[in-house]
Amino acid sequence: MIEDQLTPPYYAVIFSTVLADDISGYIEEANRMEELAKQQKGYLGIESARNEIGITVSYWQTLEDISAWKNNIEHVEARNLGREKWYKKYQLRICKVEREYGFEKN
Amino acid sequence: MIEDQLTPPYYAVIFSTVLADDISGYIEEANRMEELAKQQKGYLGIESARNEIGITVSYWQTLEDISAWKNNIEHVEARNLGREKWYKKYQLRICKVEREYGFEKN
């Protein structure tokens, strides 16, 4: 699912990942974190795709909402587990969405 | 491939897509556009993943660089073809990257 038009300005977290060879338990944990993210204040949406690399973009109303989610205790634990077990490499970018355009075929 | 640490502030274009059922010719055109993007002024990097949806994030030094790429004639033609043939739906978001963090396992 891609997210429909949102109203800038708001924030995006672009999380780009390369997984390790053994990803047992990863899918379950990633799904659990996605469900948890959806319950947080300021959450606007999430988009995710994976083949050679994974890209997950989550959308938030403010930087404070992103900080609060970063510091959520279950999220901290999942992140530690991720660094220990599942991620070979990742890059996380925090961005302010300034403009957007959409297209949908009739 | 994910992009290594870049130096904020710079810009990201998040292009989230749902493809039509018939995507003949799409992969070739997408690869061609990626090669062309890499030759443009201000290009910093690109990341792309697809399963149910596609997410391509391209990184640029300035908003002017993004405008110039948007108006590149071959890119305009590819975009028109994309709307006509390959895309069921897309959303394009232009963002200013303010902070970033990376992790790589030793």
Q: What is the pLDDT of residues B70-97, one digit of tens each?
A: 999 999 999 999 999 999 999 999 999 9
Q: How far apart are CA A55 and CA A106, in angstroms?
A: 28
Cβ within 8 Å, pair A50-B54 = no
**What pTM does this model have?**
0.96
Cβ within 8 Å, pair B3-A51 = no
Does residue B41 contact residue B68 with C-beta atoms inside 8 Å?
A: yes
Interface test with A, best of B59, B84, B103 (most A CBs within 10 A): B103
Q: Give B82's contacts (C-beta < 8 A, 6+ positions apart).
A: B26, B29
Which of B2, B21, B35 minimizes the C-alpha distance to B87? Answer: B21
Domains belonging to chain B, first-starting first, are 10-97 (3.30.70.100)
Does residue B95 contact residue A63 with C-beta atoms inside 8 Å?
A: no
Q: How far apart are CA A27 and CA A97, in angstroms?
A: 28
Chain A 60-89, residues with CB within 8 Å of chain B CB atoms: 83, 87-89
> Which pLDDT does position A50 carry in this prediction?
96
- A87 CB neighbours in chain B (<8 A) are 103, 105
Average pLDDT over residues A65-69: 98
- Kind and range of the H or E element at A1? none
- B88 CB neighbours in chain A (<8 A) are 104-105
* A58 to A40, A65, A97, B60: CA distances (angstroms): 12, 11, 12, 20
Average pLDDT over residues A41-69: 97
Q: What is the pLDDT of residues B1-58, one digit of tens each?
A: 999 999 999 999 999 999 999 999 999 999 999 999 999 999 999 999 999 999 999 9
